[in-house]
């Protein structure tokens, strides 16, 4: 895998569109290139190759952000420390991709448990809702618990979500104030981010996700991380 073959998909993978798609607000014809954030960074050498994603080497620091989790506790950059965290942006009204990704994340946690690692560092997932108007914390709690107890929810207001998205190098576009239809859909990408126990951005998993493969990739990363430390 040469650098060029990685850089282009990586730039695309890192760019996450949490754009609110409601027909007239965001015509689906909007060129994707205009919605992407391209990073000049690329994957450094020495990082393990993954079957379902990319390792960022060196890991990238995550700027300050401030959300609230589904237990009404603050969820910020420090919440990511001393644990491995899979982060995924979505919304509970999304009936296909979000549920598919959550189902795969649940499989990630089951497979990691089956790996029986001696490493006691917790592995968690946080589903960050980009639809705070409808996704209350209580709703997020019920939704995430349905998939796996290792998965929690978090959200914030549009400013906070934008701050979070920037911190983890995604794009967040706020919702229209008055959607034309209460059943509005949110256009979002399905990438899953992994942060390391230092709270840094360590890997990115692109769709289609396969929980079993991601768990194997995670084992690779965890072992590599242990060798590095």
Partner 1 sequence: MKVLKSLVLAGAVVSGVGQAADPLAIHGGWVREMPPGTENTAAYFVAHNRSDTDRRIVSAETAVADKTELHTVKHADGVMSMVQIDGIDVPAHRTAEFEQGGKHLMLLGVAERLTEGQTVTVTLEYANGDTQSVEFPVKRGTPMGHGQKKKKHDH
Contact residues: partner 1, CB under 8 A: 1, 5, 9, 12-13, 15-17, 21, 28, 32-33, 35-36, 51-52, 92-97, 99-100, 103-104, 106-107, 138-139, 142-143, 146-147, 183, 185, 187-191, 206-213
Q: Which two tokens stand for residue 122?
A: 């917790």
| C-beta closer to partner 1: residue 40 or 183 | 183
The number of beta carbons lying within 10 Å of the beta carbon of residue 141 is 16
Q: Which two tokens stand for residue 216?
A: 């194997």
**Coil, strand, or helix at residue 150?**
coil
Q: Least distance (Å) from partner 1 to the CB of residue 195? A: 19
| C-beta closer to partner 1: residue 16 or 175 | 16
Q: Least distance (Å) from partner 1 to the CB of residue 190? A: 5
Q: Which two tokens stand for residue 98?
A: 């979000």
Q: Least distance (Å) from partner 1 to the CB of residue 171? A: 9
The helix or strand, by DSSP H or E, that contains position 154, with its residue range, turns out to be strand 151-155
Burial class (CB within 10 angstroms; exposed 0-12, middle 13-18, buried 19+) of 94: buried
Q: Least distance (Å) from partner 1 to the CB of residue 46? A: 19
Q: Least distance (Å) from partner 1 to the CB of residue 157? A: 21
| C-beta closer to partner 1: residue 68 or 189 | 189
| C-beta closer to partner 1: residue 150 or 213 | 213
Give backbone dihedrals phi and psi of 133, rounded to 5 degrees, phi first: -60, -35
Q: Which two tokens stand for residue 172?
A: 């967040």
Give CA–CA dist 83/191, Å, rounded. Answer: 20
| C-beta closer to partner 1: residue 20 or 164 | 20
DSSP result, 41-105: --PPTTPPP-SSEEEEEEEEP----EEEETTS-EEEGGGGBTSEEEEEEE-TT--SHHHHHHHHH
| C-beta closer to partner 1: residue 80 or 140 | 140
């Amino acid at each position: 895998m040469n650098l060029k073959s990685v850089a282009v998909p990586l730039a695309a993978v890192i760019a996450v569109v949490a754009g609110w798609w409601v027909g007239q607000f965001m015509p689906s014809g909007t060129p994707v290139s205009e919605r992407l954030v391209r990073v000049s960074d690329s994957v450094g050498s020495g990082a393990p190759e993954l079957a379902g994603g990319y390792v960022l080497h060196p890991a990238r620091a995550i700027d300050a952000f401030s959300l609230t989790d589904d237990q009404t506790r603050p969820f910020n950059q420090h919440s990511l420390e001393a644990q491995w965290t899979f982060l995924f942006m979505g919304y509970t009204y999304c009936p296909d991709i979000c549920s598919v990704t959550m189902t795969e994340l649940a499989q990630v946690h089951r497979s990691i448990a089956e790996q029986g690692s001696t490493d006691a560092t917790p592995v968690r997932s946080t589903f960050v809702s980009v639809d705070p108007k409808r996704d209350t914390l209580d709703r997020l709690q019920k939704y995430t618990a349905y998939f796996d107890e290792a998965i929690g929810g978090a959200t914030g207001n549009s400013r906070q979500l934008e701050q979070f998205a920037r911190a983890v190098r995604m794009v967040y576009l706020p919702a229209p104030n008055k959607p034309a239809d209460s059943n509005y859909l949110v256009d979002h990408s399905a990438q899953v981010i992994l942060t390391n126990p230092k709270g840094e951005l360590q890997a990115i998993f692109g769709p289609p996700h396969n929980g079993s493969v991601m768990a194997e990739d995670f084992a690779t990363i965890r072992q590599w991380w242990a060798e590095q430390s």
